[in-house]
Amino acid sequence: MSKFVIQAEDLAAQKKFAEALYQNYHNEAQSRGYEFTFSIRTYGCQLNESDSEKLSGILKTMSFVQGNTDDPDLVIFNTCSVRENAQDRLFGNLGLVKAMKRKNPKLIVGVCGCMMKQEENVEKITKSYPFVDLIFGPQDIHRLPELLYRLHFTSKRVYDVSKNDYLADDLDLPIDRSRRFRALVPIMYGCNNFCTYCIVPYTRGRERSRPFEQIIKELNNLAAEGYKEILLLGQNVNSYGKDNAGMPDFADLLEAAAKIDGISRIRFMTSHPKDLSDRVIDIMAENPNIEKHLHLPMQSGSDNILKAMNRHYTREQYIRTARLFRERIPYGTISTDIIVGFPGETEADFADTLSLMREIRFDSAFTFQYSVRPGTPAAKMEDQIPQDVVTERFTRLLELQNGHCFDSNSGVVGNVEEILIEGRSETAPHILSGRTMSNRLVNFTLPDDIDLPDGTHLEKGELFDGDRLEGCLANVRITGARPFSLEGRWESFTHD
């Protein structure tokens, strides 16, 4: 695979395909009397979400509009291959799409994302799901106009996953951001770490950092457009810039981002413990607009397993970094990723994981059962752990972590926290939800009769429209804790 920076002329060529399709779909829509619609189903991480925002932006330049999920003209599955269950979900859903396609033979079905970089998945689709019209990879997002053009004008399936590690600058692509106040900003693509369990380096290719000036320009644009929160994204943000000698590093980028006026919150993920520098922690401590939340995947607490995972840090080094963060940012939170049942994990290794969890007391954790990824070194390791052992360990781990989550949340009851409002609570429409500066989820109530920041008034009993408050900041008194969320009462809006 080679690194391949997309040139302006390549993107200009894509634009030509998009214009031709725009004319085509626009005219057809006029004669049939309604617009062409699309639906994108996204699996997996925030980088996939970001890719879907680009797919959506590109489709809109071709006159498509966002439609419902039941009967769109075009459906795209943006897949994830990090664990087996995400893969299974795709095939389950493709089975359902078969019926949709029978009802509407003109439905265009596309599949993209990490799973398409694994030939066996493309083969399975070719054999068992031949109604899929379009297949492309995670590096081919910018090529969607060309691929759709070929499909449209040849009426033959287009299965085209490129081998290049493309780097198209996001500034040159239309992005249809799914949140009004939060912008996802990838700063680098790919991963060089080859953790032995992980498929990502094979699907997303080698690390490619976006040019520093272009990221800063994008952030300035976002601030001017009124975005309140920026998520700097990458598989390993702390190795930003290392692929080009003399380039600024992640600490430089974070510091420069924090100086941009108008952005209230900056968060970043994911940090690899081997690459997170003390300077990044200092910069987090010094800048009030950098969120006090660190996502620091530990994966295992056993040195033997960390070694077999090719993680390049020890338990002691991990503890040192986490302690430093706790000391410098006492109000901050640490979340982590933990894998249970990596090949060869003994009861003693697992006990080391539990003891590391007790030592750090993670504020939250994403916990996973090891999933064999064909093609990775761990898949060939002897001593794969039987499922019943994994399940039993996983239960113990969850129990411990749930207690830590609850204790952590209980520690902030009584505080007044600044909440960035995300909208209505998913479970109760009269309750708003949002996050603290340390990324804790808070559900809170508004009083009756209240003036809103947009100058409107909310009457007693009126069901509020969550959208009206999305992106506003409010001070909220925390009144109760649950393991995965807090409860609170609105006190005031903060005007920035």
Residues that bind ligand SF4 (CB under 6 A): 191, 193-195, 198, 200-201, 235-236, 272
CA distance 8 to 399: 53
First to last CA, the chain: 47
Closest CB to ligand SF4 among 275 and 352?
Answer: 275
Closest CB to ligand 5AD among 255 and 337?
Answer: 337
Asked if residues 356 and 298 have their Cβ atoms less than 8 Å apart, the reply is: yes
Close Cβ partners of 87 (under 8 Å, ≥ 6 residues apart): 79, 80, 81, 115, 121
Q: Rounded to the nearest whole angstrom, what is the least distance from the CB of residue 119 to ligand SF4 in the complex?
A: 20
For 271, the enclosing helix (H) or strand (E) is: none
> CB under 6 A: which stretch of 29-37, 124-132, 370-378, 416-424 binds ligand 5AD?
370-378
Instruction: Spell out the long-range contacts of 350-353 with Cβ–Cβ below 8 A and sequence spacing 24 or more.
Output: 350/302, 350/393, 350/397, 352/300, 352/301, 352/302, 352/303, 352/305, 352/315, 353/300, 353/301, 353/302, 353/305, 353/397
- Which tokens hold the place of 207? 């690390």
Q: Rounded to the nearest whole angstrom, what is the least distance from the CB of residue 220 to ligand SF4 in the complex?
A: 29
Quickly count: other Cβ atoms within 10 Å of residue 5's Cβ.
Answer: 13
Q: Rounded to the nearest whole angstrom, what is the least distance from the CB of residue 296 to ligand SF4 in the complex?
A: 12
Please select the residue that binds ligand 5AD; options are 114, 198, 254, 329, rule is CB under 6 A: 198
CA distance 333 to 364: 8
Choose the one of ligand 5AD, ligand SF4, none that binds residue 232, judging by a C-beta under 5 to 8 angstroms depending on kind. Answer: none
Alpha helices, H only, 42-164: 46-61, 84-103, 119-128, 144-154
Choose the one of ligand 5AD, ligand SF4, none that binds residue 191, judging by a C-beta under 5 to 8 angstroms depending on kind. Answer: ligand SF4
- Which tokens hold the place of 199? 């498929």
Q: Rounded to the nearest whole angstrom, what is the least distance from the CB of residue 225 to ligand SF4 in the complex?
A: 30
Alpha helices, H only, 303-346: 303-308, 315-328
Closest CB to ligand 5AD among 371 and 443?
Answer: 371
Closest CB to ligand SF4 among 73 and 275?
Answer: 275
Residue 305 makes contact with ligand 5AD by CB under 6 A: no
Q: Which residue has the tokens 């693509």?
A: 189
Q: Rounded to the nearest whole angstrom, what is the least distance from the CB of residue 381 to ligand SF4 in the complex?
A: 16
Q: Which residue has the tokens 């609105």?
A: 490
CA distance 250 to 281: 11
Choose the one of ligand SF4, ligand 5AD, none that binds residue 272, judging by a C-beta under 5 to 8 angstroms depending on kind. Answer: ligand SF4
**Nearest CA-CA partner of 461 in 476, 449, 475:** 449
Choose the one of ligand SF4, ligand 5AD, none that binds residue 235, judging by a C-beta under 5 to 8 angstroms depending on kind. Answer: ligand SF4
Choose the one of ligand SF4, ligand 5AD, none that binds residue 121, judging by a C-beta under 5 to 8 angstroms depending on kind. Answer: none
**Nearest CA-CA partner of 290 in 437, 414, 90, 124:** 437
- Binding characters for ligand 5AD, 324-363, by CB under 6 A (x = yes): -------------x-x------------------------
Close Cβ partners of 181 (under 8 Å, ≥ 6 residues apart): 226, 227, 228, 229, 420, 470, 471
Q: Rounded to the nearest whole angstrom, what is the least distance from the CB of residue 370 to ligand SF4 in the complex?
A: 12
Closest CB to ligand 5AD among 61 and 235?
Answer: 235
Q: Rounded to the nearest whole angstrom, what is the least distance from the CB of residue 299 to ligand 5AD in the complex?
A: 6
Closest CB to ligand 5AD among 331 and 368?
Answer: 368
Residue 364 makes contact with ligand 5AD by CB under 6 A: no
Say if strands 108-113 and 134-135 run parallel, antiparallel, or are unpaired: parallel
Closest CB to ligand 5AD among 139 and 235?
Answer: 235
Residue 117 makes contact with ligand 5AD by CB under 6 A: no
Choose the one of ligand SF4, ligand 5AD, none that binds residue 370, judging by a C-beta under 5 to 8 angstroms depending on kind. Answer: ligand 5AD
Residue 83 makes contact with ligand 5AD by CB under 6 A: yes
Q: What is the contact surface with ligand 5AD in residues (CB under 6 A)?
A: 82-83, 197-198, 297, 299, 337, 339, 368, 370-371, 373
